[in-house]
Structure 1
Amino acid sequence: MTPTKPTALLDTAAAHATAAVPIARPDDTADMVLKAMQGKTFDCASVIAVCNADRLAGLVTVERLLAADPQTPVRRIMDAKPPKVSSGTDQEHAAWLAVQHGEPGLAVVDARGRFVGVIPPQQLLRVLLEEHDEDMARLGGYLRRSAMAREASEENVPARLWHRLPWLGIGLLGVLGSAGLLAASEARLSANLAVAFFLPGIVYLAAAVGNQTQTLVIRGLSVGVGIRRVAGREALTGLLVGALLAVAMYGVVAVGWRDLTLATAVGLAVVAASTVATLVAMALPWLLQRAGKDPAFGSGPVATIIQDLMSISIYLGTVTLLLS
């Protein structure tokens, strides 16, 4: 039988698969397979592909083959449900699948289920090391290769300023916006100074909740976890965290200041600001990634100022609505 030739697809399972492996039929005996392997050279001989015509029936390791009775049919000692991937499967997913199943090799099949080849253990190890190097480079600065990470770490002062100042300039504009919001609410703040006491705390709590989400999202993106996989659970988490903080803040304000209306305003603002901060913290890294920008420089300053502006607006709006 002539196996299907693997298609050379960059960073996919097919790019690492080899058809130069021992191939047996389910009814072949262990002795027949071992004798057929003698005098031949294989790219990988640690695992034998068992095929019906051009279809993969299972895999058997050379260790099990050597330990079996010589007259035992291969179908009785093979793994009939081995881990296998399609030709276009991402190389990192393929490597981790093999590790999780404890196999020395991973079978690759095409879209029609025909046997393409086996990814040898040395290739699986190389893929894992490559992906580890890439992930570690991207975790710190979300950069695609270690060479880029080194370049960012070793760049000169003008380059560092060029990469950072534009984002901080956006933050400066946000600060001016915050000052404008507070100036517009000067009368309300002057009429009830207690309202101003809780503004820094609400801004801080929302930013802290957002920072936790942002860290989780960037780490996830750096190892291939898409935003869709975390968005729902993280949004619900932000809402619940905000609700718990709101209950605590309500109790403190109600007891300490004996103002139930102000306590309600503070509690509602905390819930809303924490939820919005969570959504902003998820959206910004994803948008910057889609735009080809580095979230290590952009997410922090931009997310912080958006979260602060939203927190101030939410709190002042809630206070105006309830205390007017």
Structure 2
Amino acid sequence: MEKSSSKKNFDGKQKYQPNAVIHKIVKEVPIFSQTSTLKSIKGRLLGEKQYKNFDYIYLSDEKGKLSGVLSFKEFMDNSESSKAENVMNKKPISVSPDTDQEQVAHIALKHGIKSVPVVEDGKLLGVVTSDKMVSILNRSLQEDILHFAGIHKSHLEFENTMKVPLNKAVMHRLPWLLVGLIGIIIAAAFINLFEATLEKYIILAFFVPAIVYMASALGTQHQTLFIRDLTILGKELKFSHYFFRQTLIAFIIGVVISVLVFFAVTLFWHERFIAIVISVSMFATLMITSFTSLFVTLIIYKLGQDPAFGSGPFATVISDMTSIAVYMLMAVWLL
């Protein structure tokens, strides 16, 4: 018997985890004494209509414990005078009631069986039927797809939008956005410190949105890919090598974008020195933002939080504040 440990005690009573297979069993299954003849079993099957599963016939010994299983094909292929114990499979695949539901589905696929009996202390509690296993696998597939997107199973329990209470749904998202709001206010106040420089070189003000957007876009790319790689690779991901590779990619992207900005400013505004200031600032901003976006996502992940929730708004405001600060400071320093 294949087992897993997901039982726990609660209020002095033995309870099962929500993912335990006991919650998926069908109890109305045909079970007969192993000493019965196939003819007597057939007569009882024809006379009783309550069974919800007819893939297998289950047999028990004199102690009432599961002793074998008989498929419907085997039942029809053998003589009616045969005793069930002589034609049954005496080593049926079974699981304990605390076995994980997905594990049961995989056991069924591995052994090529349509239903899996759930047994405790030798007694048959019920059966996980094929339709139940299809439902389990469908749910597992949905979770895996969301997992690849960076939404982990632990959060599915909280973020089921059809079940989660409204106040919890709000509180899971609002704190991160409030952090972003505070960051925006700080960024606005920081820009105000450079009012004189912006008035003197009005073209610098034109490129504030461009600097912020490009930094945010590159940072979002890094975050999305990092979350995906964390989800798929897990512990196989080597952070030092990963950070070096992403920094190298950011360096190449930064050079290309900065050169394009330089030529654009020179062509349309005919301000070569200002073009140098903006392009150098753009490059520095992209490099620093690339690092901060990866670093913030990693910190949230290390703290045991889902980076899909926090890295978006939190890393974005860090990126915006950093890009504005670098841009303004670089402009003042170079000018």
The answer as to whether partners of 1:246 and 1:270 remain within 8 angstroms in 2 is: yes
- Partner of residue 245, structure 2: 233
Q: Distance in 2 between matches of 1:131 and 1:224?
A: 19
Equivalent position amino acid for 2:204 in 1: V
Corresponding position of 1:249: 261
> Which moves more between the two structures, 132-141 or 200-209?
132-141
- For residues 82-115 of structure 1, give each alpha carbon's deviation from its aligned partner in whole angstroms, at most 9, with x where no partner exists: xxxxxxxxxxxxxxxxxxxxxxxxxxxxxxxxxx
- Inter-partner Cα distance in structure 1 for 2:91 and 2:290: 53
**In structure 2, what is the equivalent of residue 178 of structure 1?**
187
Deviation of 1:264 after TM superposition, in Å, equals 0.8
Correspondence for 1:218 among 227, 249, 255: 227
If you compute each CA radius of gyration, which structure gives the higher value, 1 or 2? 2
Structure 1 contact 289–295 (Cα < 8 Å) conserved: yes
Please give the secondary structure, in 1, of the residue aligned with 2:152. Answer: coil
Q: Shift of residue 134 of structure 1?
A: 4.7
Residue type at the aligned position of 1:222: T
Deviation at 1:151, TM superposition (A): 3.2
Deviation of 1:204 after TM superposition, in Å, equals 0.4
Q: SS at 1:155's partner residue?
A: coil
CA contact (8 A) 1:280 1:303 kept: yes
Give, in whole Å, the separation in 1 of the partners of 2:249 and 2:281: 17
Q: What code does the residue aligned with 1:287 have? A: I
Distance 1:203 1:120, change over 3 A: same
Matches within 5 A, 1:46-125: 122=110
1:246 and 1:212, CA in 2 relative to 1: closer, same or farther beyond 3 A? same
User: 2: CA distance between counterparts of 1:232 and 1:43?
Assistant: 53
**C-alpha contact (below 8 Å) 1:139/1:222 kept by paired residues:** yes
Q: TM-score, normalised by structure 2?
A: 0.56
**CA contact under 8 A between 1:135 and 1:223: conserved in structure 2?**
no
| Structure 1 residue 246 displacement after superposition | 0.4
Deviations 1:218-261 (A, max 9, x none): 11111234261532211111111111100000001112111111
Query: Could you tell me whether the CA contact under 8 Å between 2:300 and 2:306 is conserved in 1?
Result: yes
Go from structure 1 to structure 2 and tell me whether the alpha carbon gap of 1:43 and 1:310 turns closer, same or farther (over 3 Å shift): farther
Distance 1:189 1:158 in 2: 43
In 2 relative to 1, CA 154–266 (structure 1 residues): closer, same or farther, beyond 3 Å? farther
Contact 1:138 1:222 in 2 (8 A): yes
- Show structure 2 runs of 5+ residues with no match: 7-88, 94-106, 112-132
Preserved CA contact (<8 Å) 1:243 1:270: no
2 CA distance for matches of 1:316 and 1:146?
39
From 276, 286, 305, the counterpart of 2:288? 276
Q: Percent same amino acid among aligned pairs?
A: 29
Distance 1:161 1:195 in 2: 38
Which position in structure 2 is the counterpart of 1:64?
Answer: none
TM-score in terms of structure 1 length:
0.58
Preserved CA contact (<8 Å) 1:217 1:282 = yes
Distance in 1 (alpha carbons) for counterparts of 2:171 and 2:269:
48
Counterparts of 1:289 and 1:173, CA distance in 2:
23
Any residues of structure 2 matched to 1:1-324 within 5 Å, and which? 122=110, 134-145=143-154, 147-148=156-157, 151=160, 154-225=163-234, 226=237, 228=239, 230-323=242-335
Give the conservation status (yes or no) of the 8 Å contact 2:150–2:231. Answer: no
1:153–1:263 CA distance, 2 compared to 1 (3 A):
farther
Q: Quote how far apart the aligned CAs of 1:141 are.
A: 4.8
CA RMSD of aligned residues (A): 3.4
Displacement of 1:149:
6.5
In structure 2, give the amino acid aligned to 1:163: H
Cα 1:154–1:241 change in 2 (3 A) is: farther
Aligned length: 216
Separation in 1 of the partners of 2:317 and 2:264? Answer: 27
Distance, in Å, in 2 between the alignment partners of 1:195 and 1:220 is: 37
Whole-Å separation in 2 of the counterparts to 1:233 and 1:261: 32
Measure how far apart 1:294 and its partner are.
Answer: 2.2
